[in-house]
């Protein structure tokens, strides 16, 4: 495998406090480093510019002695790839703009039809090979971004819930004293020097290229922004004239937007919003500028207006820009050492020998390795096949680190496929105790089994339930991880379809599901666990609806939980208020991760401690039936169906503005589900409704707009229920042949249903 797109795109976006544009302007020397005078870059130049040449020249100017760097720079970047200006822009926009050479999508991405709800880890071999099409250039900050994070790593390892981590991780640490590039307690100096020497050429080459390219990019950007056609003086004129967007007949213009002008206008609008009183045109409001900015962001990055606005509202304008920019470049390729099979140092040495350039992901992790270049497909090396590592996004380490599973504990991973987190947990637990790895999607659960086998995990039982059925299936866990299905707004760099395929309905449907799953997670934990009693909720989404709002709902519904520190050494605090809504002050214990801030996928992590028993009337209390985690069957095996109505979500004064249920919305859900059930039984709900007094009254309580949304949501919920029903029926019908059972499975699943559905990790 050559130098791939992903591997080249290791660089983070610029730091938050220095915008892309202003930072580069600041840093740019008056004259190009090689003494060439500045040349204005036209849009045609931009598209045809050969980074190879620029990079090589600037690189040699920066470091004339480094011929190796020059040579590799040519090899790596000199394939007639597109310039920075064009990089990362959606193809369709480029096409619309009539540009000469549309940037091809890498085949793996183009073919990837899995939604972020489905695939968050990159375990397949294909993923490791999805490189090699688009060029990018790392920036100076790139190593620091992952490496520099959590430099107070000792806190992580020694902190409350991380007490066990040091001993849990079978890493070089136990055997070896300190060394620089590797963890403090890793390797002796000689060994590490060898590793570093083997790696050093690649690393220094990368640094050279990064520096050179950033300079070239900054220069180009400066020149571009100088090409302003509609910006004059101190008060830039950036607001659209109505007529500009319409043709002569008043229809929306079909002309392709000029991307350079759009970008310039975006940066200028941000500048105005940063210093509104000084820079705004007289008589124009902030709202007008914001609307213009969102509109330009939609055009430039190809977002739906709905999602662009939702994401924009999470940040101040300048930071929002950094976020949208960061979504255009992939995050670093990271592998997690499987400490059940090897040590990180050993693994690194073997991979370096195979031509992989890598280094530890940062002090905050003892098992992560960030890969910069590879001569081999990382999903097909002997070490990969032998289960020595898994390709896993750095952000996806975080929920497991927060959960901090301990040896000999019983853990539930409610939505586990494809198993990146399950297998990490098993490694931390040194294959002791028991992990129930559940996923509602049967085919994904099979992939999970594959990873479990490859990585040598032996303490895990895979099962295939709708997680809402917990704890009726089995409860009493020491810790539960709910890595919830979500909209994937944190992983847009991996799946650009999120930009346009999410609708308002998704942000009703998903939080509804997430809230239910979180209650089930909480109710599945044994509050009296001697070692645990913790729940971690995580998503790869950055929206408030799927994160703080879900957490707040759980806090409202379960007085027997409290938010506690995640123990993670980096991450931004969760919102305690958002757009006029208030959340619990303890929400600051939750952590938000953004691509532009940490060069990791967008993520959210919340950790709860369960402080008391599940309230008697709780929806998911394992009152009847089910088994405890220790395998003891409860007195009655009768099926418990969750019929608890959901209550007010917003504005009832007692539960806060977020986190509760919207009673009307839920009445509609319930009503629709009832109708769907009737239809399934072959009855016509409308005929039945006619006879019922009050049914019209209920319909009258929901206004038309709500009705339309509710119709849609309920249609989807009903379809989902139907699908789940089918899944469950199918599974029960299929059952499991005796040969598929292992001792572990049989011992742990004394409940017939569990036995039927559990798939085995041998
Ligand atoms: C974010 S992914 C999980 C990723 C996984 N934790 C990992 O680290 O590899 C969400 C998963 O939830 C599963 N899922 C969706 N709805 C579910 C439900 N009601 N019960 C259980 N699992 C569900 C999906 O099939 C998907 O695999």
381 lines ligand 1 (CB under 6 A): no
CA angle in degrees (0–180, nearest 5) for 700-705-710? 80
Q: According to the model, what pLDDT value does residue 670 have?
A: 67
Q: According to the model, what pLDDT value does residue 303 have?
A: 98
For ligand 1, atom 25, name the residue with the nearest CA.
441
- pLDDT-based confidence at residue 600 (cuts at 50, 70, 90): very high
546 lines ligand 1 (CB under 6 A): no
Q: According to the model, what pLDDT value does residue 236 have?
A: 72
Whole-angstrom distance, CA of residue 231 vs CA of residue 519: 54
The one catalytic residue among 298, 463, 486, 540:
540
Residues of the chain with pLDDT > 70, as a percent, come to 52
- pLDDT-based confidence at residue 485 (cuts at 50, 70, 90): very high
Whole-angstrom distance, CA of residue 452 vs CA of residue 434: 13
Query: How far apart are the CA of 415 and the centre of ligand 1, in A?
Result: 4
CA angle in degrees (0–180, nearest 5) for 290-582-504? 55
Q: According to the model, what pLDDT value does residue 613 have?
A: 94
Residue of 504, 466, 502, 468 lying closest to 712 (CA atoms):
504
- What are the beta bridge partners of residue 413? 437, 481
Whole-angstrom distance, CA of residue 95 vs CA of residue 79: 21
Residue of 209, 202, 454, 208 lying closest to 352 (CA atoms):
202
Query: How far apart are the CA of 594 and the centre of ligand 1, in A?
Result: 21
Q: Which of 215-224, 313-322, 688-697, 734-743 ranks highest by mean pLDDT?
A: 313-322
For ligand 1, atom 11, name the residue with the nearest CA.
415
- What are the beta bridge partners of residue 434? 410
Q: Is residue 185 annotated as involved in ligand binding?
A: no
Q: According to the model, what pLDDT value does residue 475 have?
A: 97
| Widest distance between CA atoms in the chain | 89
pLDDT per position as a tens digit, 126-156: 333 333 222 233 333 333 356 656 443 333 3
Q: 131: how many CB neighbours lie within 10 A of its CB?
A: 24
441 lines ligand 1 (CB under 6 A): yes
Residue of 574, 583, 576 lying closest to 605 (CA atoms):
574
Query: How far apart are the CA of 117 and the centre of ligand 1, in A?
Result: 7
On the question of pLDDT at 368 being above 60, the answer is: yes
417 lines ligand 1 (CB under 6 A): yes
Pairing outcome for strands 474-475 and 627-628 = parallel
For ligand 1, atom 19, name the residue with the nearest CA.
466
Q: What is the DSSP string of 354-375?
A: TTEEEEES-TT-SSEEEEEEES
- The b-or-e profile of 372-383 (16+ CB within 10 A means b, else e) is bbbebebbebeb
Query: How far apart are the CA of 466 and the centre of ligand 1, in A?
Result: 10
Query: How far apart are the CA of 419 and the centre of ligand 1, in A?
Result: 10
Q: According to the model, what pLDDT value does residue 247 have?
A: 55
For ligand 1, atom 17, name the residue with the nearest CA.
440
Among 485, 520, 721, the mutation site with the greatest number of ligand 1 atoms within 8 A of its Cβ is: 485
- 342-351, 432-441, 718-727: the lowest-pLDDT one: 718-727
Q: Is residue 404 annotated as involved in ligand binding?
A: no
CB 459 within 8 A of CB 201: no
Q: According to the model, what pLDDT value does residue 461 have?
A: 97
444 lines ligand 1 (CB under 6 A): yes
- DSSP type of residue 76: H
415 lines ligand 1 (CB under 6 A): yes
120 lines ligand 1 (CB under 6 A): yes
Query: How far apart are the CA of 615 and the centre of ligand 1, in A?
Result: 27
Q: Where in the chain is CATH 3.40.50.150?
A: 394-643+743-760
Higher-scoring residue by pLDDT: 39, 17:
39
Q: At 658, is the secondary structure helix, strand, or coil?
A: coil
For ligand 1, atom 27, name the residue with the nearest CA.
417
Q: According to the model, what pLDDT value does residue 460 have?
A: 98
On the question of pLDDT at 94 being above 60, the answer is: no
145 lines ligand 1 (CB under 6 A): no
336 lines ligand 1 (CB under 6 A): no
Alpha-carbon 372 to chain mean position: 20
Q: According to the model, what pLDDT value does residue 672 have?
A: 78
Q: Which of 37-41, 153-157, 508-512, 701-705 ranks highest by mean pLDDT?
A: 508-512
Q: 287: how many CB neighbours lie within 10 A of its CB?
A: 8
Query: How far apart are the CA of 449 and the centre of ligand 1, in A?
Result: 14
332 lines ligand 1 (CB under 6 A): no
pLDDT, mean of residues 448-468: 97
Query: How far apart are the CA of 521 and the centre of ligand 1, in A?
Result: 13
Query: How far apart are the CA of 552 and the centre of ligand 1, in A?
Result: 21
On the question of pLDDT at 749 being above 90, the answer is: no
CB 682 within 8 A of CB 675: no
Whole-angstrom distance, CA of residue 94 vs CA of residue 76: 24
- pLDDT-based confidence at residue 664 (cuts at 50, 70, 90): low
Helices (H), 171-258: 189-226
pLDDT, mean of residues 595-624: 85
On the question of pLDDT at 374 being above 60, the answer is: yes
Among 440, 454, 547, the mutation site with the greatest number of ligand 1 atoms within 8 A of its Cβ is: 440
Q: According to the model, what pLDDT value does residue 468 have?
A: 97
Among 441, 449, 457, 540, the mutation site with the greatest number of ligand 1 atoms within 8 A of its Cβ is: 441
For ligand 1, atom 26, name the residue with the nearest CA.
118
Whole-angstrom distance, CA of residue 379 vs CA of residue 472: 38
394-643+743-760: CATH superfamily: Vaccinia Virus protein VP39 (3.40.50.150)
Residue 540 annotated as catalytic: yes
Whole-angstrom distance, CA of residue 550 vs CA of residue 485: 13
- pLDDT-based confidence at residue 209 (cuts at 50, 70, 90): confident
Q: Is residue 202 annotated as involved in ligand binding?
A: no
412 lines ligand 1 (CB under 6 A): no
CB 306 within 8 A of CB 498: no
Q: According to the model, what pLDDT value does residue 19 have?
A: 32
Q: Is residue 419 annotated as involved in ligand binding?
A: yes
On the question of pLDDT at 692 being above 70, the answer is: no
pLDDT, mean of residues 664-683: 71
pLDDT per position as a tens digit, 277-289: 889 988 899 999 9
- pLDDT-based confidence at residue 214 (cuts at 50, 70, 90): confident
On the question of pLDDT at 540 being above 90, the answer is: yes
Alpha-carbon 286 to chain mean position: 31
Instruction: Please provide the average confidence, as pLDDT, over all residues in the chain.
Output: 68
439 CA: nearest ligand 1 atom:
22
Residue of 378, 370, 425, 259 lying closest to 598 (CA atoms):
370
- 256-260, 313-317, 342-346, 661-665: the lowest-pLDDT one: 661-665
For ligand 1, atom 6, name the residue with the nearest CA.
416
Return the H-helix or E-strand segment holding 716: helix 704-734
């Amino acid at each position: 495998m050559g130098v791939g797109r992903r591997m080249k795109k290791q660089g983070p976006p610029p730091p938050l406090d220095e915008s892309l544009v202003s930072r580069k302007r600041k840093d740019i020397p008056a004259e190009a480093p090689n003494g060439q005078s500045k040349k204005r870059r036209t849009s045609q130049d931009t598209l045809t510019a050969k980074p190879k040449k620029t990079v090589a020249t600037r690189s040699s100017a920066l470091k004339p002695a480094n011929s190796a760097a020059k040579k590799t720079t040519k090899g790596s970047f000199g394939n007639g790839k597109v310039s920075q200006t064009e990089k990362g822009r959606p193809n369709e926009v480029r096409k619309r703009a009539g540009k000469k050479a549309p940037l091809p999508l890498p085949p793996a991405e183009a073919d990837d039809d899995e939604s972020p709800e489905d695939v968050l880890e990159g375990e397949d071999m294909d993923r490791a090979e999805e490189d090699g099409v688009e060029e990018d250039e790392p920036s100076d900050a790139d190593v620091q971004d992952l490496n520099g994070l959590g430099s107070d790593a000792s806190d992580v390892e020694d902190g409350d819930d991380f007490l066990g981590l040091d001993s849990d991780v079978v890493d070089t640490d136990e055997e070896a004293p300190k060394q620089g590039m590797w963890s403090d307690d890793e390797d002796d100096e000689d060994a590490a020097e060898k590793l570093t020497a083997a790696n050093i050429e690649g690393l220094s080459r990368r640094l050279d290229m990064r520096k050179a390219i950033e300079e070239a990019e900054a220069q180009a950007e400066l020149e571009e922004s100088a090409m302003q056609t509609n910006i004059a003086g101190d008060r830039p004129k950036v607001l659209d004239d109505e007529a500009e967007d319409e043709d002569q007949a008043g229809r929306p213009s079909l002309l392709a937007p000029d991307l350079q002008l759009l970008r310039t206008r975006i940066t200028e609008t941000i500048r105005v919003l940063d210093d509104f009183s000084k820079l705004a045109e007289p008589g124009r409001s902030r709202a007008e500028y914001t609307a213009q900015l969102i509109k330009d962001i939609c055009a430039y990055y190809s977002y739906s207006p709905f999602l662009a606005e939702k994401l924009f509202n999470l940040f101040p304008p300048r930071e929002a820009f950094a976020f949208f920019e960061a979504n255009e470049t992939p995050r670093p390729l990271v592998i997690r050492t499987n400490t059940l099979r090897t040590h990180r140092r050993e693994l690194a040495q073997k991979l370096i020998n195979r031509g992989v350039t890598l280094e530890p992901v940062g002090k905050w992790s003892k098992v992560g390795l960030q890969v910069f270049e590879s001569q081999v497909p990382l999903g097909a090396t002997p070490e990969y096949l032998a289960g020595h590592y898994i390709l896993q996004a750095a952000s996806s380490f975080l929920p497991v680190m927060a959960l901090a599973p301990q040896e000999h504990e019983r853990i539930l991973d409610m939505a586990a496929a494809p198993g990146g987190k399950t297998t990490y947990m098993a490694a931390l637990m040194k294959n002791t105790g028991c992990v129930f790895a559940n996923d509602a999607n049967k085919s994904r659960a099979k992939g999970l089994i594959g990873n479990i086998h490859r990585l040598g995990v032996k303490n895990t039982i895979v099962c295939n339930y709708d997680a809402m059925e917990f704890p009726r299936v089995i409860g009493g866990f020491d810790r539960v991880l709910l890595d919830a299905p979500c909209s994937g707004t944190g992983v847009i760099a991996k799946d650009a379809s999120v930009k346009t395929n999410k609708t308002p309905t998704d942000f009703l449907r998903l939080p509804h599901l997430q809230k239910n799953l979180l209650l089930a997670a909480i109710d599945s934990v044994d509050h009296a666990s001697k070692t645990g009693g913790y729940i971690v909720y995580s998503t790869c989404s950055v929206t408030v609806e799927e994160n703080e709002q879900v957490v707040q709902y759980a806090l409202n519904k379960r007085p027997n939980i409290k938010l506690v520190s995640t123990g993670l050494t980096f991450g931004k605090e969760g919102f305690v208020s958002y757009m006029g809504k208030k959340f619990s002050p303890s929400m600051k214990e939750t952590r938000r991760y953004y691509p532009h801030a940490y060069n990791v996928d967008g993520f959210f992590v919340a950790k709860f401690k369960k402080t008391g028993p599940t309230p008697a009337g709780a929806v998911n209390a394992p009152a009847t039936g089910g088994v405890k985690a220790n395998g003891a069957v409860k007195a009655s095996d009768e099926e418990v169906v969750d019929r608890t109505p959901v209550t007010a979500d917003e504005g009832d004064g007692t539960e806060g503005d977020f986190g509760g249920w919207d009673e009307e919305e839920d009445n509609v859900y319930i009503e629709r589900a009832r109708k769907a059930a009737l239809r399934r039984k072959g009855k016509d709900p409308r005929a039945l409704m006619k006879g019922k007094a009050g049914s019209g009254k209920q319909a009258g309580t929901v206004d038309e707009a709500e009705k339309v949304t509710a119709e849609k949501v309920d249609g989807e919920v009903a379809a989902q229920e139907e699908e789940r029903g089918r899944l469950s029926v199918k599974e029960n019908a299929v059952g499991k042949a005796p040969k598929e059972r292992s001792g572990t499975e049989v011992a742990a699943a004394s409940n017939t249903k569990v036995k039927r559905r559990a798939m085995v990790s041998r």
